[in-house]
Amino acid sequence: MDWSQIRALFPAADRYTYLNTAAAPPLSVLAAREGKRYYDEMAEHADVAWDRWLGEVEEVREKLAKFVHAEPRSIAFTYSTSHGMNLIAGILQHCGDVLCPADEFPSCTLPWFQQRYRVHFVCSRDRGIIDLHDVQRSITPETRILVASYVQFATGFRQDLVSLGRFCRERKLILVVDATQGMGVFPIDVFASGIDFLVFSGYKWAQAGYGVGGLYVSPRFLDIKRFPVAGWWSVRDPEAVINDRLDLKETAAALEVGCPHFAGIFALGAALSLFEEVGAARIEQRIHELTDYLHQRLDDEGLRVASPRAREQRSGITIIEMCNAPDVVKSLAEKRIIVSARGRGLRVSVHIFNTLEDIDHLVAALRELSPGVTRNAR
Ligand SMILES: Cc1ncc(COP(=O)(O)O)c(C=O)c1O
């Protein structure tokens, strides 16, 4: 499949210059079709396909497990990152304090506050880079848990998960990763990185739409006695409808307390199949190429990139420094160019449906808006 064939799978990309995956990208027609298939079947045949749907959920679980290099028994479906993070905080039963980069999205931090953990923050350096020396200096004897996003939503900084995992292992810290802003386009190997818990929402880079997410629980925490939630669907034989004793599944699926969100899970399955077909290395390379081009064009225009420049710290998110970003977002939207205001300016994000022409459109529009764009003197 070449890039124009991939682009054709995303009709929204023809209606808009859509550079806003970090907020929420369009779905491919393949993912949309899979979600819709469930609703169509439900409309035409009611619940008679229930058993088949359950089988399909397990196929998606296997696909997701393969995608992050885990075993299916370690995977649970959730409805959001916040949901998954709350489950993790519950599983860890106040085993110690949490350390977290200061710029993380609230889904990474608020669940821990709510569950009465002590949370400490590590400041990032220029361009949002988290330096492990700074993390080291913030560790106290009470620190047991490190929570970090793979890709930071407001700076675009991408963690080296293998180094972070090694760092945590050597200090006996539990590593919790929010992969929402990287899942689908940058590699994730929970085993090679020694990740203890991984969460993500499906509605961003995974291109699966709202209402579905994933949670990985490493084998050492797959202890159902520590699971903080249960429901009729958590048990080994739900159809037995036993209500006076617990007989939980021995897998992360026990965290799925009620009936599955079939449409979201099927859409996620189709999105993962597309990533698999295009190829992980090719996708990563494409994001880098588009971002190289974007950075080059911004440099030529004298606009300052506030996100990391080195490929190994970069993601699909670029922040263009400007102090009137919310106004620029509105002006661009009038031209059907969709971006967000985040961090130190304008957040532009590129996914596999984007093209070099999308970037040209953005840069031309920014040039037209020039009086409203604050250029950095540096
Ligand atoms: C890093 C990160 N995690 C998670 C989310 C979304 O959280 P939730 O799935 O809880 O809505 C966002 C949204 O911007 C995010 O940037």
Could you report the per-residue pLDDT of 9-32, keeping only the tens digit for each? Answer: 999 999 999 999 999 999 999 999
The domain limits of the chain are: 3-19+279-370, 30-276
15 is written with which tokens? 């209606």
Which residue, judged by its Cα, is nearest atom 7 of ligand 1? Answer: 81
29 to 4, 34, 272, 368, 372: CA distances (angstroms): 14, 9, 13, 33, 37
Residue indicated by tokens 């969709």: 338
For residue 205, the CA-to-ligand 1 centroid distance in Å is: 11
Q: Could you read off the pLDDT of 192-245 as tens digits, one per residue?
A: 999 999 999 999 999 999 999 999 999 999 999 999 999 999 999 999 999 999
Q: Ligand 1, residues 77, 105, 114: which to mutate, most atoms within 8 A of Cβ?
A: 105
Residue indicated by tokens 């903080």: 228
Q: Could you read off the pLDDT of 177-188 as tens digits, one per residue?
A: 999 999 999 999
For residue 180, the CA-to-ligand 1 centroid distance in Å is: 6
Q: List ligand 1's pocket residues with C-beta within 6 A.
A: 80-82, 105, 107, 149, 153, 178, 180-181, 201, 213
Task: Output the pLDDT for position 376.
Answer: 54
Q: Are 195 and 227 in contact (CB under 8 A)?
A: no
Q: Where in 38-139 does DSSP place strands (E)?
A: 75-78, 97-101, 119-122
> pLDDT averaged over the chain?
96
Largest CA-CA distance found in the chain, in angstroms, rounded: 69
- The reply to whether domains 3-19+279-370 and 30-276 share a CATH topology is no
Task: Output the pLDDT for position 371.
Answer: 54
Q: Are 109 and 100 in contact (CB under 8 A)?
A: yes
117 is written with which tokens? 């953990």
For residue 41, the CA-to-ligand 1 centroid distance in Å is: 31
CA 353/CA 364 separation, integer angstroms: 20
Q: Could you read off the pLDDT of 71-109 as tens digits, one per residue?
A: 999 999 999 999 999 999 999 999 999 999 998 999 999
Q: How confident is the model at residue 378 (pLDDT cuts 50, 70, 90)?
A: very low
pLDDT at 4 over 80: yes
Which residue, judged by its Cα, is nearest atom 16 of ligand 1? Answer: 153
Per-position b or e across 123-137, b if 16+ CB within 10 A of its CB: ebeebbbbeeeebee
Percent of residues, the chain, with pLDDT higher than 70: 98
CATH H-level, domain 3-19+279-370: superfamily: Aspartate Aminotransferase, domain 1 (3.90.1150.10)
233 is written with which tokens? 């669907």
For residue 284, the CA-to-ligand 1 centroid distance in Å is: 21
Percent of residues, the chain, with pLDDT higher than 90: 97
Closest CA to 273 of 12, 4, 9: 9
For residue 107, the CA-to-ligand 1 centroid distance in Å is: 6
The structure's pTM equals: 0.97
Q: What is the mean pLDDT of residues 314-328?
A: 96
CATH of domain 30-276: 3.40.640.10
For residue 28, the CA-to-ligand 1 centroid distance in Å is: 20
With a CB cutoff of 8 Å and minimum separation 6, the contacts of 374 are 321, 322, 323, 324
For residue 152, the CA-to-ligand 1 centroid distance in Å is: 10
Q: Could you read off the pLDDT of 337-346 as tens digits, one per residue?
A: 999 999 999 9
Q: Ligand 1, residues 108, 112, 181: which to mutate, most atoms within 8 A of Cβ?
A: 181
Q: Could you read off the pLDDT of 134-180 as tens digits, one per residue?
A: 999 999 999 999 999 999 999 999 999 999 999 999 999 999 999 99
115 to 112, 118, 198, 256, 367: CA distances (angstroms): 5, 9, 19, 20, 48
**Closest ligand 1 atom to the C-alpha of 83?**
10
Q: How confident is the model at residue 48 (pLDDT cuts 50, 70, 90)?
A: very high
With a CB cutoff of 8 Å and minimum separation 6, the contacts of 296 are none
Q: How confident is the model at residue 377 (pLDDT cuts 50, 70, 90)?
A: very low
Which residue, judged by its Cα, is nearest atom 6 of ligand 1? Answer: 81
**Closest ligand 1 atom to the C-alpha of 80?**
9
245 is written with which tokens? 């004793």
